[in-house]
Structure 1
């Protein structure tokens, strides 16, 4: 640690050594209908709960409370949509009216406290309104990324069992319009569970047909809607369920509770991001991801800031100056986005020509997360902006940053490649395979000591056992992040990559298992593997390797096109799956484990070794040839007998 007098260390030690006092004080900044009985409830450890017995309402704390305290005229939401040429500012008072009335719509459709509402919508204010309307009446929302493939949407519908689904007629991308209603209709044909009602936001660019008796036009139901008050809920009640990206089969639904979530996000706005109430905060993400939930919808409004809802891209809507325009035009003080966005801007405008056209003198800091921030991108952004560029690290499961350079506490010198130090509330350690803490600079499993702080997942949706098995069983007393990394001699954390089958594509965590499931379902495929290979723009891109069934004779190009289309249909375009090689065999250990790590190293051009446990070393030569034909695989073999 550093000098114990600095603000970061003081907060870190207080949260570590006396979490009940630390978080109890943080919670007093919010309005509670009923005070909590216990700040930290460990009676069912390792399943911990925060603020048990307390009652509050997230919507009240994010909207009603600010109107009552004189912020009614302040902008709550700025909707900026270059793809529709629309800019709309919604004040806190106006947002309160729309949310209260749409909550009335949901109640009129039979939605009660504890019922689920699936939201499958684009980047429009109505999506945020729908989320807050659920929170207002104690319903549980589950947002699915707009445009997700019908199969993936169907399994989420079956798991959440929503009473109502909210959707839109379409989403709008850079050069195309994506009709949502046909995708939803296909998903409902696949799903076992059928919602009682679907509410559809009809957009001017494309209007869709409604199913009589089930579907309702958003604008029509809002015309006569009656506002309803906030319903106090238990702090431990679920606010939402967010399914981790790319899950298949029985999906993994991350639960977020009301109390801990509100407390942690409110605290983070000041202490991590250095914001003040009344300022404009912009998270350039999507509602369907954890960043969108936490830092577009909830955290800025809980803290009394203005949030930006941007329906556009960093390039192409219309050019590489889009981010700079939004920052200048709306007086954004802090931007949070993914490194992919800045790599795209750098690719289109390496000299920063567009940047010079805008005044960003009031802009304070750029935060980047969602994937590893490579040093080249960090240095380019830092040189261009001449403002702090903060790499920070967290997960869907944690809901808010685990490690960051906390600008609201103490700003430390930057080490490119590191998200700096653990945020107060998180005790991060590096363990070896036997559960022993390793010395500085030695890689191991990145874990977080229990209890996790408020705002993190208390469990998985309807599946405590899977939560324990997935996250808490490998190292008793610790939460397993699934990432590998190390902590250096100065206490800086370095995340080196996932230790499971999750790859990061343009800031989105996607399971290679879901893509393998799509490929293996093709009638000509005997077995397959999908690996994530390095990509300068999108961090990683998936590459498929398939073995055909005996006797199958196919034209390679047509088969590859069919396989790419299967992944697109079953996982979605977000996977960016475009490359597939047909191989005779997959390299495996003698026990039958496919050597994905070795294949990744070959594809990435990293040094690799022949594993001592391999069944047939000649398979690696075959894979190398196949990957070379895709323009990959340039690395040498360094030794026999590696892992």
Structure 2
């Protein structure tokens, strides 16, 4: 790949610079100075970060590397829930709100740190009474409710490995994950709420466990009216279990390398991968990045819009914020129900100061217009953040101007289920460059390399690679270690999940997308993201996805799928305008041969467009694993 393959204005970059007070008051301070301290003494850097949590027994060494396997904080003993709950209760945060929750129907719940500890302890005792022990797997299939967080923490309290499955999955996807993990218990709710409708979860679980011989019991959080009946031989009520138990459970002493949780993520092909994260490294990584990247402070009200069923929810709804003693707001509401102003209303009502969401949501708000956000006072906001896919420049600009009111830094984070924590971003207080995620955070050595693993020159594109182990890295793929090894052997001795990126002359990195999101047109490599970015920069387009379809002359031609903003109608004239717009923005080689106007695009729940589904539909092929799709 060469510079001409990417339509990036590398020679005339645009920056936004936050008020100097942001850097002065941030935990990280000066980024370059902090990064050089890490490079000079990596073990010393991580030893300092590890000292910010409490250990039952101190570790002997920071890290042991036996390619491609790492062990972190060797022989250290801890429990992540002691660090999320007990130590805050013991150090003056007993009556501080840990969780604010709002249901779709307007229900509200709040838990102080002492209340959350009591609930987690009681449920942990209930699991122990049922025979769940250290190392057992527990499947959690629930909507976004406080009981989901309580169940996760209760498992971690006793050393059980939780496998959280997103509550929107169907029978086959749930059964596959239960069977692969060998889960002993399934925890669910009878219903979830979505856009005013009750979605029945219990019947899905009942069907999913039919061919899952490892399951001994199902725990049901009953919230529907009338109360659903339980099958006494296998089903138990969540609150009946909780209320009969003692409200203190001694936290299990866990080795730093003991597994904490198992989380399934979909690859582009094949069955879902069960990613294993370890107790010690994951705790250190998520505590560090929540504090230093998102800049969480004692009086912040923090809202990450992710579902706890995904890694963003694990790391930045549950564990990272609670490790820092934060006040976390989370909600069952979708961003468009009962109207497109609900999220802005919640920010106003709860005084949210840190708002972490996905580019997909931002582009949806762009589509309906800023008149919705303008109705509400958003002056409580201090930091904005983005996750899930690259934040295109147009979405950055809208987010910065209309939500941040030209004052809030935007932290555009690149990381993965496999990394467990943030890896690349622009730290709070540093100059922000629209379209570029930023630089490796202190603690991470990242680069853009060619197929041989050699660093590319600034201004060029290549594969995004991580050159050193980090504490919260995945330890293996459950029951499939060979899939784990591929992360480190695809490029020689470097970690890669085959994302493409461009390295700017200023050291900032633009993440382009997956390597399989390249289209080769007449011998030219065209990144899907650059064509999509050109399309959404047109005033009529809210979202876009492009794929390559076979062409007898060019090998491939580009087909685009576009969602239009409200007030615009699809027409042949608009198609011609869009082709011309792409030609002028990217170049004639990138002009779509065909444009189709659509109402929606296939996406994962984290907001990533799954282009292979579009490609498979276009070519009449099997799309492969679609269990992680939103619709």
Q: TM-score range by the shorter chain?
A: 0.7 to 0.9
The structure-2 alpha-carbon separation of the partners of 1:233 and 1:6, relative to structure 1 and needing over 3 Å to count, comes to closer
Task: Look up the match of 2:209.
Answer: 188
Task: Look up the match of 1:454.
Answer: 471
5+ residue gaps, structure 2: 1-27, 520-530, 563-578, 602-631
Distance 2:409 2:335 in 1: 19
Q: 2:463 aligns with which of 434, 440, 445?
A: 445
Task: Look up the match of 1:484.
Answer: 500
Report the secondary structure of 1:332's partner residue. coil
Distance 2:440 2:344 in 1: 30
Within-5 A mapping of 1:607-618? none
Report 1 or 2 for greater relative contact order, CA contacts < 8 Å, sequence distance ≥ 6.
2
Distance 1:108 1:250 in 2: 34
Task: Look up the match of 2:220.
Answer: 200
Within-5 A mapping of 1:228-627? 228-245=249-266, 250-316=271-337, 318-348=338-368, 350=369, 352-384=370-402, 385-386=404-405, 387-407=408-428, 411-451=429-469, 453-469=470-486, 471-500=487-516, 587=550, 598=556, 601=559
- The answer on whether the counterparts of 1:448 and 1:481 sit within 8 Å (CA) in structure 2 is no
Moved more, 249-258 or 224-233: 249-258
Distance 1:603 1:87 in 2: 40
1:12 Cα offset (Å): 1.4
Task: Look up the match of 1:20.
Answer: 43
The structure-2 alpha-carbon separation of the partners of 1:629 and 1:39, relative to structure 1 and needing over 3 Å to count, comes to closer
Deviation per CA, 1:140-197, whole angstroms, max 9, x where unpaired? Answer: 00111102021111111111111111001011111422111121222223x4444001
Instruction: Report whether the alignment pairs 1:117 with 2:125.
Output: no
Moved more, 107-116 or 322-331: 322-331
- The answer on whether the counterparts of 2:421 and 2:472 sit within 8 Å (CA) in structure 1 is yes
1:202 Cα offset (Å): 0.7
Task: Look up the match of 2:525.
Answer: none
Distance 1:609 1:358 in 2: 41
The structure-2 alpha-carbon separation of the partners of 1:161 and 1:424, relative to structure 1 and needing over 3 Å to count, comes to same
The structure-2 alpha-carbon separation of the partners of 1:241 and 1:247, relative to structure 1 and needing over 3 Å to count, comes to farther
Distance 1:354 1:602 in 2: 29
Distance 1:278 1:628 in 2: 48
- The answer on whether the counterparts of 2:546 and 2:561 sit within 8 Å (CA) in structure 1 is no
Measured on the aligned residues, the alpha-carbon RMSD in Å equals 3.1
1:206 Cα offset (Å): 6.2
Task: Look up the match of 2:11.
Answer: none
Moved more, 494-503 or 474-483: 494-503
The structure-2 alpha-carbon separation of the partners of 1:610 and 1:539, relative to structure 1 and needing over 3 Å to count, comes to closer
Report the secondary structure of 1:447's partner residue. strand
TM-score, L = length of structure 1? 0.77
Within-5 A mapping of 1:126-205? 126-189=147-210, 191-205=211-225
1:278 Cα offset (Å): 4.1
Task: Look up the match of 1:212.
Answer: 232
Distance 1:541 1:375 in 2: 16
Report the secondary structure of 2:516's partner residue. coil
The structure-2 alpha-carbon separation of the partners of 1:336 and 1:602, relative to structure 1 and needing over 3 Å to count, comes to closer
Distance 1:123 1:448 in 2: 33
Deviation per CA, 1:347-389, whole angstroms, max 9, x where unpaired? Answer: 22x1x33334433323201101111212222111211122222
1:89 Cα offset (Å): 1.0
1:539 Cα offset (Å): 5.4
The structure-2 alpha-carbon separation of the partners of 1:51 and 1:601, relative to structure 1 and needing over 3 Å to count, comes to farther
The structure-2 alpha-carbon separation of the partners of 1:601 and 1:434, relative to structure 1 and needing over 3 Å to count, comes to farther
The structure-2 alpha-carbon separation of the partners of 1:245 and 1:86, relative to structure 1 and needing over 3 Å to count, comes to farther
Task: Look up the match of 1:90.
Answer: 111
Distance 2:560 2:542 in 1: 19
Task: Look up the match of 1:78.
Answer: 100
Distance 2:411 2:317 in 1: 18
Task: Look up the match of 1:513.
Answer: none
Distance 2:326 2:309 in 1: 21
Moved more, 483-492 or 385-394: 385-394
Distance 2:268 2:226 in 1: 30
5+ residue gaps, structure 1: 504-531, 546-585, 590-594, 612-622, 633-643
- The answer on whether the counterparts of 2:57 and 2:77 sit within 8 Å (CA) in structure 1 is yes
- The answer on whether the counterparts of 1:441 and 1:489 sit within 8 Å (CA) in structure 2 is yes
- The answer on whether the counterparts of 2:133 and 2:159 sit within 8 Å (CA) in structure 1 is yes
The structure-2 alpha-carbon separation of the partners of 1:207 and 1:541, relative to structure 1 and needing over 3 Å to count, comes to farther
Distance 2:543 2:476 in 1: 29
- The answer on whether the counterparts of 2:559 and 2:593 sit within 8 Å (CA) in structure 1 is no
Task: Look up the match of 2:87.
Answer: 65
The structure-2 alpha-carbon separation of the partners of 1:630 and 1:287, relative to structure 1 and needing over 3 Å to count, comes to closer
TM-score, L = length of structure 2? 0.78
